[in-house]
Amino acid sequence: MQKRIIIIGGGIVGSTAAFYLSQTDNHITLIDHGLGTATRAAAGIICPWLAQKKNKDWYRLTSTGAVFYRQLMADLTKAGVTDLPFKQTGTLGLKSRPELAEKVQAIAKERRQDTPTIGDIRLLEKEDVTDYLPALTPDNYGILLEGGGRVDGGKLIDLLQEQVLLNGGKLLKGQAFLQNEREVAFEGEILTADHIILAVGAWLPHILEPLGYQVDVRPQKGQLFELETDLDTDNWPVCMPYGEIDILPFEKGKVIIGATHEDDMGYDLTLDSDKIAAMKERSENFMPILAQYAVSKTRTGTRAYTSTYAPFYGQLADKPSLWVASGLGSSGLTNGPFIGWQIAQEIVEKPTHFDRSPYSPAPYIQPQ
Ligand SMILES: Cc1cc2nc3c(=O)[nH]c(=O)nc-3n(C[C@H](O)[C@H](O)[C@H](O)COP(=O)(O)OP(=O)(O)OC[C@H]3O[C@@H](n4cnc5c(N)ncnc54)[C@H](O)[C@@H]3O)c2cc1C
């Protein structure tokens, strides 16, 4: 029997779920407000394998998400997309001391036993780092992972949403309000559904609290900037220096640098030019040539965090037609597509072979 499925939120989670659901024989409606979308602001690093986080569940989900990018790109290619937004460029981590690079190398090697996508792992002396990224100063040791990559989040959700439309799904622009587990209010109308997916990122409290739930999700502001350079960036690896900045090369000289993690700014989206200037100065310590280029664009978005810093997704225990996903934090571009895919698969009752019980929404969404 055909199902009516409403997805609220057109970031990476909602757009991926809508894409896969639109390939089935069901009625799909994706509603997106478009304000503060973290996915459009995101830098685009897809490489959880250098992270030293101890949370094994986070790692398992996020590594699965990074590997899943290959499937998502293959599925977009099958759908006729030729200009893909994800590229495996390799990721270059920088460390000030050789023993720090060796420590990360050991972690990555162990992870590669289960995840061959990580590929070649290379430890680099200071003078060898510039062979891979000539703009860097030869002051740091490097660890290069072949399987790392980068994605243009805005382009990816545009492509996914285009496919939803081509497959006969509906795309509505504006704010939706949840009435109950099967009804959504949108521009004076009530839309009914067999399943509703709340993929609203940091805005989950806004949509669920009016229904009497307490939601453990808080907003975090993130800002970054772009440079249009005349450097040959096409084949540069993503660069992850230590400290709070990353340097991402895109095609045709575009370089993205960011991002801030601001916990005390709520849903604010205004630009803080002092913070942008501080990140620019810091990036120039690693790549002095970047000082020659002015900031060409800035982006601001709102990440969603839980009090445990862990993401959650799945059905609400007392309302199984209502699906949620939030708390993806600073790695949601990496694990978000997999989460969207898994929710879509489960709604159409297809197997996923991935145990999502460690990511249950129950601890984060309590009836008041
Ligand atoms: C500056 C920055 C840099 C980042 N860099 C990276 C990175 O390099 N790698 C990485 O893996 N992750 C990164 N992230 C994190 C990642 O972007 C997010 O975790 C991820 O995009 C979250 O996706 P989402 O679909 O859950 O939410 P979002 O992308 O925020 O989408 C939610 C959507 O729901 C809409 N919405 C909310 N309420 C309603 C409503 N009532 N009705 C209709 N629509 C509604 C919003 O407008 C929004 O469009 C970064 C984030 C930021 C901000």
What average pLDDT does this structure show over 81-98?
A: 97
| Residue 335 Cβ contacting ligand 1 at under 6 Å | no
pLDDT above 90: residue 357 = yes
The CA-atom distances, in angstroms, between 329 and each of 52, 57, 193, 283 are 16, 14, 29, 23
pLDDT above 90: residue 245 = yes
pLDDT above 90: residue 242 = no
- Domains and their CATH numbers in the chain: 4-41+154-217+308-367 (3.50.50.60), 87-149+219-305 (3.30.9.10)
| Residue 37 Cβ contacting ligand 1 at under 6 Å | yes
Rounded Cα–Cα distance for residues 261 and 259 (Å): 7
Per-residue pLDDT, 66: 98
Question: Please, which residues bridge with residue 251 across strands?
Answer: none
* Ligand 1 nearest atom to the CA of residue 325, by list position: 26
| Residue 184 Cβ contacting ligand 1 at under 6 Å | no
CA of 243 to the centre of ligand 1 (A): 23
Q: At what angle do helices 12-22 and 56-78 cross, to 10 degrees?
A: 50
CA of 8 to the centre of ligand 1 (A): 13
Closest alpha carbon to 71 in 90, 84, 58, 57: 84
| Residue 175 Cβ contacting ligand 1 at under 6 Å | yes
| Residue 200 Cβ contacting ligand 1 at under 6 Å | yes
pLDDT tens-place string over residues 139-198: 999 999 999 999 999 999 999 999 999 999 999 999 999 999 999 999 999 999 999 999
First to last CA, the chain: 35
